[in-house]
A and B are shown apart, each in its own frame.
Chain A
């Protein structure tokens, strides 16, 4: 569709000042406190998300270390039962809801608009809103921990333990409401990503030219949209059972304890792919750059992403293999869980093929990708093991499962994530991270990880249940546990090196330039860090690897208006231009709306009337948010 007209090549020179200056003026955020509160720049908000999420990783990791100290010796007195139960619940909930999911969404918020060549994410104010909501959710959970009132029911809060009868105090409510906060922000982001990918792709970026990472984020967004309502329903009904005496989970009154498990895992299983799919998207993006060759099997990889997404809604019962469901039904879920190994395999094999065909350059990002393949395949295979009903009967709720999910979560998601940070850090900050510290971080994390988590498989088979705050000396677990605990500190040291490198490089890293890795995707076609308007001119895409197909020149569209925030709307399939749509300006209203929402949610842990009275300020802030201000963006 791109008509290669004969208009002369425009040198960057003449446009300078005029265009950039005007764009800067319209897209830039006001300086000062309120300016930073009001900003709707997807990059700024994504950066906030990332920093917050990594702080939560560090905190959650420190909790893990506390658990490891306690478990290092039999009958240790480092933590008492109550503390331990709070800590493993905090660790799990924090890592899943405050680190893993948000950090992946943050990467989406930052890179989807850049990779599809647009100027801001769709619904940027919603984006700002989502961050504030997420932040309050995190503060709520950690605040409760500080005052020794943190949830103590595990990250999936099974009833009746979390129900009105046995879950004393507000602990379970805090867990449930933290969920509501994070899911609210996740849903908001999912909506933005879907619309950004559908309607704001650069002209020429037809479906078959969308970068794999963007595909991964799109599938992730749909998983969020279809899975999160389940957890919203679960957490709300749990609070209702606890606050207004409904009986959803009370067997005595026609409710059912297993209903909770069904609803939770109907969300909970897709949740793990919400974390995992973005990670594989990162792998598929990093790999080509460091083997200097296009990805092998674009189509199969995209199909695998979609297939995984669809299948993931047919697996939830594999978390419930020992609750006594009908045997035949269980076996169906064994089959579906095994089936998901096929799309996973497809991806692994396509990556191996890409590596085979290419010329690997062993920079830190690639090291983490290789570490990912080695580790994730183990985690995936243990997944296949526990997918067998009888196998699971022995290892369910033991350290074998703990080993499985750390292999897939850390090996499968955190390794690619760290690789991605090393890869995109230059783009985000304009400075390179240190290769030397990077190698250190990799080897410490890689070896530390396997030394920490591999023995857990054996502990599980030796009969060590999970979620026990201590064990007796005569049980044959002490040696391995000590080993695991010591190794955990090696792993932590690795993360520490990574954190230090990142903090150092922000100020003292070597200047990066536009495209330090000679990478093919659009985000590298603009300065590092990108200006508030992302691209001086909207790029036109002529191939799957834009910057490789035309190395020295960037095809672009004629200029958009610079006196208002304007971006290009293109068609769903072909990405042919449809309109020049405006993009909202900065606004503090999302911030107030988030505060009002937070008040409503927290209040509603104590009184059902909060839902009625609390919604009035929410409505007011929303009106303030959407009421037109007669600015240029309003023209049409």
Chain B
């Protein structure tokens, strides 16, 4: 099976060095602040370590004469070192505290997204004062470049953790609690995020993409998402639609504008428009969709989508339908 390599490598190009999911590849103010902090603290600690090593080596290799060294000559240097330690850790504490203050969540956000994590995929609700303008999607969010995004974090089952290293530090999603995280993307790009808290069998395959776009592009995407599903334009796809509605699919998946209103699985209204499927597992092509539907349990063992046996014919049709849902 082919992977999302294409997109991801292109993302790599856009986002410069450091890979697609790296704390060292900061693409937004909070990630940048964190990167700066990391560099400062690491630098200080490296200096401390080198200092200790110098003393250690000197202590081991220094030329010794007959006279024994009495304790009292050692008091002053040791006291000095302890004092230095106190100063350094105090300084580090202050630095850390300042950074914490700077990173406090920012209230006036342009976009608010309700994240609902579940084993092992992400549900995203774009909120809006007017319910008609709100919409739901899964495993992929788009955000406007240069605008503050506010994500409210909830879990449907166990504890997960929302982490897009290139944009911000992580924050847990805990059943019965509500957390908030705000971030901003400064440059357009595709930033990979991944669940960071062990959440069971497929914790390793619980990724998502954050796609930062120029405001216009973003608005176009929003318009597109608000709309219900497009009607299949070729007979194969419409056959696929019937399959989808008549088989169990509709029991678990919602496709807005059709009678499919299940909620156990991701909203598929615009699944064809996403770059990956099954929480970043596969690049989104007709082939991979078919592969997924044909046997989700081999591709992502233990995930909550059962194998729905379909004749090859229907499988092709339903995949065509999925792919068409741009």
Contact = CB atoms under 8 A, between A and B. Distances in A.
| Complex A–B touching at CB under 8 A | yes
Interface of A: 80-82, 85, 153-154, 158, 160-161, 165-166, 251-252, 256-258, 293, 296-297, 322-324, 327, 330-331, 334-335, 338-339, 341-342, 345-346, 348-350, 352-353, 355-357, 359-360, 370, 373-374, 377-378, 381-382, 384-385, 387-398, 461-463, 465-476
B225 interface: no
Contact of B202 (A81, A378, A390, A391): A81
Contact of B176 (A80, A82, A257, A360): A257
Contacts of A391: 34, 37-38, 41, 96
Interface stretch (B51-59, B130-138, B143-151, B213-221): B51-59
A463 B49 contact: no
Interface in B141-193: 153, 157-159, 161, 163, 165, 168-172, 174-177, 179-180, 192
A160 B159 contact: yes
Interface of B: 3-5, 8-9, 18-24, 33-34, 37-38, 41-42, 45, 48-49, 52-53, 55-56, 58-60, 62, 64, 68-69, 71, 74, 77-78, 81-82, 85-86, 89-90, 92-93, 95-97, 99-101, 103-104, 153, 157-159, 161, 163, 165, 168-172, 174-177, 179-180, 192, 194-204, 280, 301-302
A475 B195 contact: no
B34 A323 contact: no
Contact of A160 (B23, B55, B157, B280): B157
Contact of A461 (B22, B78, B197, B204): B22
Nearest to A339: B89
Return the 5 tightest CB-CB contacts between A and B, nearest first.
Answer: A251-B176, A393-B169, A468-B204, A388-B96, A476-B19
Query: Dominant SS at the A interface?
Result: helix
A461 B18 CA distance: 9
Contacts, number: 231
Given A348-B52, A390-B99, A353 B74 contact: yes
Nearest to A395: B23
B120 to A, nearest CB: 10
Nearest to B92: A338
B224 to A, nearest CB: 27
B225 to A, nearest CB: 26
A100 B171 CA distance: 31
Given A384-B92, A462-B22, A470-B204, A257 B177 contact: yes
25 contacts: A158-B159, A323-B177, A338-B93, A342-B89, A345-B81, A348-B52, A349-B81, A352-B59, A355-B56, A356-B59, A356-B74, A357-B74, A378-B49, A384-B89, A385-B41, A385-B42, A390-B34, A393-B169, A394-B38, A396-B170, A397-B161, A463-B192, A467-B198, A471-B204, A472-B4
Given A322-B170, A349-B82, A388 B41 contact: yes
B96 A389 contact: yes
B56 A465 contact: no
Nearest to A462: B22
B174 A81 contact: no
A636 B308 CA distance: 80
B198 A356 contact: no
A353 B78 contact: yes
A348 B78 CA distance: 10
Contacts of A466: 198
A389 B171 CA distance: 12
Contacts of B192: 463
B99 to A, nearest CB: 4
B185 to A, nearest CB: 16
A370 to B, nearest CB: 7
A378 B52 CA distance: 10
A331 B49 contact: no
Contact of B60 (A331, A341, A345, A355): A355
A346 B84 CA distance: 11
Contact of A370 (B42, B60, B202): B60
A475 B93 CA distance: 34
A204 to B, nearest CB: 23
Contacts of A390: 33-34, 37, 96, 99-100, 103, 169
Nearest to A396: B170
Contacts of A85: 200-201
B37 A81 contact: no
Contacts of A472: 3-4, 280
Contact of A82 (B171, B174, B201): B201
Contacts of B4: 472, 474
Contacts of B41: 384-385, 388, 391
A296 B74 contact: yes
B238 to A, nearest CB: 34
A466 B194 CA distance: 11
A461 B131 CA distance: 40
A384 B42 CA distance: 10
B8 A474 contact: yes
A463 B22 contact: yes
A461 B25 CA distance: 9
B85 to A, nearest CB: 4
Contacts of A474: 3-5, 8-9, 20
